[in-house]
Each structure stands twice: as C-alpha cells, then as structure tokens.
C-alpha cells in the first residue's frame, strides 16, 4: 500500500470494526465517506454517534482518529483519493469470494 494511504488505512483497521459494526454493508459505508471530493464528516459523525451509544469506551478514541483520517483524505491528490476508492471496492470483491 502507498505510504500516503497507510495512515488512513491504519485508522480504519484500528477503529473500523467498532465503527461499522451492525451496518448492512461496511464497504458501502466506507465508500459513502470517501465518494466525494471531500470526506463526508457528517456521515462519519453519524456512525460515531451510533458507536457512542453502543460502545462509549470505543467511541472516545475513535473520534480523533475519524477526524484525522478525514483531514488526511481531504489532503490527498485526486488520484490518491481514487486509488483509495478502488482499494475499498477491491476489498469488497475479495470478501465476497
């Protein structure tokens, strides 16, 4: 994985399972966060609010990680943003196998 994408991917690995627990399709949720030219912070905060009701101890460290990932995504060049989207789509296809 590109060193540029590693910080975002690491935060996802650290907090994604708790943040996306209970959603119908985690990949769709991730794509919703990164589909536009800027990270969808409003959608991410909705996921975080759900997490904070279910698992308050998990939510506390997740919030700064989400905001950091959002800032890093917004700083990516368009090509790197596209690459991240393709990686999410590829991961969904591999998980479906």
Q: What is the pLDDT of residues 25-71, one digit of tens each?
A: 999 999 999 999 999 999 999 999 999 999 999 899 999 999 999 99
Structural domains in the chain (count): 1
1 domain residue, yes or no: no
Distance CA 15, CA 30 (A): 12
Task: Please state the pTM of the whole predicted model.
Answer: 0.88
Instruction: Please name which of 29, 22, 15, 1 lies closest in space to residue 68, comparing C-alpha atoms.
Output: 15
31 domain residue, yes or no: yes
41 domain residue, yes or no: yes
Give the structural domain span for 73: 6-96
């Amino acid at each position: 994985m590109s060193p540029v994408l590693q910080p975002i991917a690491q935060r996802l690995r650290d907090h994604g399972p708790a943040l996306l627990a209970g959603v119908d399709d985690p990949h769709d949720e991730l794509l919703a966060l990164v589909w536009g030219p800027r990270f969808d912070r409003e959608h991410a905060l909705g996921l975080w609010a759900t997490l904070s009701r279910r698992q308050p101890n998990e939510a506390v460290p997740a919030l700064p990680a989400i905001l950091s990932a959002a800032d890093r995504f917004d700083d990516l060049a368009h090509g790197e943003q596209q690459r991240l989207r393709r990686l999410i789509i590829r991961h969904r296809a591999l998980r479906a196998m």
